[in-house]
């Protein structure tokens, strides 16, 4: 057995785990699906962690800073230690998860745990529920680097060795059926999205400490549904460089459907062409713009009495001269959350 090129105890601070490619073309997906090589898994909205198991010793590390956060999650350590299939030297890739009152992934809650001291993190979990792990990859197993094994082999290994009946440490959810069926499930359940794999692809890691350029193996892709809506553009701010004297970002808002109050919805700069920036610099505000985005964030109190409803990954599509700003309303579920937030 070849010696690993990096340390696991503690995990080498130069270790950079893989990430999926951000998108995949439809024709590539169709080709994989026809060939029977498409593996569809659920994407979770949490924090990546590296999990090292060595002879009953368990350590959990963050991405980037490679910080040891094991002490914050004693219940995860206990369950991993009790898994007899993980007794050898093992390095797993997993998503650390928390859930909101509706059972949806709560990225904000996970972030609080990771940033808190161990005692505070444990106390927060007693109040909000215990964190979970979803294991989606194995890079080292039984002391062997297994990155050259196919995605199918490694995912099957994860399914076999990470006990599906466990309470807190679970394997990634592999979805049966077609991509179209899986995408309907994403929308219906308000999931983060999907991660798609070429069954015959492999994986890799880097040892250069450069988290800004993580390895993105061919054969692993994100697939996220996008929503579109119309927003009031209340104004803009200058950009930098060639946009120093024109629109850099547009400020977005929508009205509460019951109160009519204007609720800020973040800002957008992506997707605006040079020609559009020039026109928007001279435009009269407010105006209406069509925006594409991954999802709406939960309402947040950003200052006393001011609530903010940001968008995840917004992209400007076009202005809409055919729609009044007063017709740009928050969806009912977000509006209800804003109302509840104010009452609280």
- pLDDT at residue 344 greater than cutoff 60: no
Dihedral of alpha carbons 305, 311, 315, 317, sign? negative
CATH classification code of 227-335: 2.40.50.140
Q: What is the structure's pLDDT at 25?
A: 87
Q: Is 83:51 a contact under the CB 8 Å cutoff?
A: no
Question: Treating both helix axes as pointing N-terminal to C-terminal, what angle do 118-128 and 107-115 enclose, rounded to 10 degrees?
Answer: 150
Q: What is the structure's pLDDT at 343?
A: 54
Query: 11-27 as b/e, with b when 16 or more CB fall inside 10 Å?
Result: bbeebbbbbbeeebeee
User: What ranges do the domains of the chain cover?
Assistant: 26-223, 227-335
**For the chain, what percent of residues have pLDDT higher than 70?**
96
Q: What is the structure's pLDDT at 182?
A: 95
Q: What is the DSSP letter of 227?
A: E
Question: Mapping DSSP to helix (H, G, I), strand (E, B) and coil, where does residue 296 land?
Answer: strand
Q: What is the structure's pLDDT at 160?
A: 94
Non-local CB neighbours of 340 within 8 Å, separated by 6+ positions: none
Non-local CB neighbours of 148 within 8 Å, separated by 6+ positions: 202
Across the chain, mean pLDDT equals: 92
Predicted TM-score (pTM) of the model is 0.76
In this prediction, residue 9 has a pLDDT band, given cuts at 50, 70 and 90, of: very high
CA triplet 166, 171, 173: central angle to 5 degrees? 120
Q: Is 334:308 a contact under the CB 8 Å cutoff?
A: no
CA triplet 246, 251, 252: central angle to 5 degrees? 140
In this prediction, residue 164 has a pLDDT band, given cuts at 50, 70 and 90, of: low
Q: What is the structure's pLDDT at 294?
A: 85
Q: What is the structure's pLDDT at 14?
A: 98
Q: What is the structure's pLDDT at 23?
A: 85
CATH T-level topology, domain 26-223: D-amino Acid Aminotransferase; Chain A, domain 1 (3.30.470)
Q: What is the DSSP letter of 319?
A: E
Q: Is 54:42 a contact under the CB 8 Å cutoff?
A: no
- Closest among 220, 310, 206, 219 to 268, alpha carbons compared: 310
Question: Mapping DSSP to helix (H, G, I), strand (E, B) and coil, where does residue 259 land?
Answer: coil
Q: What is the structure's pLDDT at 1?
A: 62
pLDDT in tens, 54-113: 988 999 999 999 999 999 999 999 999 999 888 789 999 999 999 988 888 998 899 999
Distance CA(133)–CA(169), nearest Å, equals: 5
Distance CA(275)–CA(293), nearest Å, equals: 22
pLDDT in tens, 249-271: 999 999 999 999 999 999 999 99
CA distances 267 to 73, 112, 272, 317, Å, are 36, 24, 12, 13
Question: What is the gyration radius of the CA atoms in the chain, in angstroms?
Answer: 23
- pLDDT at residue 244 greater than cutoff 60: yes
Q: What is the mean pLDDT of residues 3-27?
A: 94
pLDDT in tens, 175-222: 999 999 999 999 888 888 999 999 999 999 999 999 888 999 999 999
Tokens (6 digits) for 187: 């929308």
Least confident range from 115-124, 156-165, 251-260, 302-311: namely 302-311
């Amino acid at each position: 057995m070849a010696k690993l090129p990096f340390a696991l105890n503690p995990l080498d601070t130069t270790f950079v785990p893989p990430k999926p490619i951000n998108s995949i073309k439809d024709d590539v997906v169709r080709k994989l699906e026809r060939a029977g090589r498409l593996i569809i898994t659920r994407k979770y909205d949490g924090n990546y962690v590296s999990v090292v198991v060595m002879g009953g010793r368990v350590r959990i590390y963050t991405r980037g800073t490679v910080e040891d956060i094991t002490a914050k999650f004693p219940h995860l350590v206990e369950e991993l230690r009790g898994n007899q299939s993980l007794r050898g030297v093992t390095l797993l890739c997993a998503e650390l998860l928390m859930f909101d009152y509706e059972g949806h992934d709560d990225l904000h809650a996970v972030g609080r745990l990771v940033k808190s001291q161990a005692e505070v993190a444990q106390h927060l979990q007693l109040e909000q529920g215990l964190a979970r792990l979803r294991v989606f990859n194995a890079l080292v197993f039984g002391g062997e680097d297994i990155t050259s094994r196919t995605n199918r082999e490694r995912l099957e290994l994860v399914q076999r060795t990470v006990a599906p009946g466990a309470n807190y440490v679970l394997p990634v959810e592999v979805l049966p059926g077609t991509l179209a069926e899986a995408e309907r499930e994403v929308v219906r359940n308000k999931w983060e999205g999907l991660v798609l794999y070429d069954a015959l692809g492999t994986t890799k890691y880097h040892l250069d400490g450069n988290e800004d350029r993580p390895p993105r193996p061919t054969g692993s892709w994100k697939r996220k549904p996008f929503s579109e809506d119309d927003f009031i553009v209340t104004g803009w701010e200058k950009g930098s460089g060639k946009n120093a004297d024109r629109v850099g970002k547009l400020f977005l808002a929508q009205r509460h459907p019951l109160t009519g109050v204007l609720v800020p919805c973040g800002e957008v700069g992506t997707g605006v062409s040079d020609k559009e920036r020039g026109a928007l610099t001279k435009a009269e505000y407010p105006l209406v713009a069509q925006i594409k985005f991954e999802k709406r964030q939960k309402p947040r109190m950003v200052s006393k009495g001011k609530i903010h409803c940001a968008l995840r990954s917004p992209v400007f599509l076009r202005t809409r001269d055919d729609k009044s700003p007063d017709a740009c309303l928050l969806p009912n579920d977000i509006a209800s959350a804003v109302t509840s937030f104010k009452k609280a």
